[in-house]
Amino acid sequence: MFKGAYVLSRFHDYEREWEVLSELLDQTLFRRGRRGEWWERRALIEERYMWQTDTSMSNPQVRKKWLKKSLETCELALQDPDTHVIFHPWLQKRLLRIERGLGIPKAQQHTFAHVALRPPTVREFTGIRTDERDIGKKSAWRSTRDAAKEVSVEELCLEQYEDQGWKGFHSENGIITTIVYPVSIVRLKIVCIVILGHSVSSATRGF
């Protein structure tokens, strides 16, 4: 059913898509991990499209009606325990934008300062590229330690970090999974060996 909602969006049948999403969100047993995605999509439809097909009142009034509906959807989404945290920033931004659009007084608007992320620390490294830009080809850079040596951009950054006293590696998470999985297996083997050893020693004492 939720796949059908995507098809409806491609055909720009937003009213029917909104109905499908509402049906999905009314239940809490099926695909709970996707609820954040459904909430976000329904809020977007209510904010941008639903007022265009609603002829129950004048244009300004119907637009305000659906903006309020989108606002309520964002509030419900943020209160839903099944809404993944990755959807919170988008829902919060949409909610604040709608509140400004509705002219809600500042004192009555939501605030998310207590959950706002701190700005990241920006670190910049410069280097000399030794090859021509070519799509699909890994770039080559001049090493800061040996002018005749070519290194990748990751190795270039690691060299500059090492000059500052750091030690590092580049693996794109490969090293993490390499360490975590064997550690889990080793722990399981240790537990089995300990249990087996205890059983053997107990049996020996019995004889």
Residue 99 · residue 74 · CB < 8 Å: no
Cα 128 from Cα 86, distance rounded (Å): 37
DSSP category for residue 141: E
pLDDT tens for residues 64-88?
Answer: 999 999 999 999 999 999 999 899 9
pTM as predicted:
0.59
Percent of the chain with pLDDT over 90: 30
Burial bucket for residue 39 (CB in 10 Å: 0-12, 13-18, 19+): buried
More confident residue, 2 or 11: 11
Task: List Cα–Cα distances, 201 to 18, 23, 187, 194, 195, in angstroms.
Answer: 67, 61, 21, 10, 10
Q: Give the residue among 100, 102, 45, 95 at the shortest CA–CA distance from 72.
A: 95
**Which pLDDT score is estimated for 207?**
38
Q: Which residues of 43-71 are buried (b: 16+ CB within 10 A; e: fewer)?
A: bbbbbebbbeeeeeeeeeebbbbbbebbb
Residue 59 has pLDDT above 90, yes or no: no
Mean pLDDT value across residues 38-64? 89
More confident residue, 102 or 170: 102
Residue 82 · residue 28 · CB < 8 Å: yes
Residue 138 has pLDDT above 50, yes or no: yes
Percent of the chain with pLDDT over 70: 82
Cα 203 from Cα 171, distance rounded (Å): 48
**Which pLDDT score is estimated for 174?**
66
Q: Report the DSSP beta bridge partners of residue 142.
A: 150
Estimate the crossing angle of helix 35-48 against helix 88-101, to 10 degrees: 20
pLDDT tens for residues 148-188?
Answer: 899 988 899 999 999 889 888 777 766 666 665 554 544 54
Going by pLDDT thresholds of 50, 70 and 90, the confidence category of residue 206 is very low
Cα 34 from Cα 192, distance rounded (Å): 38
Q: What tokens were used for 170? A: 């580049």
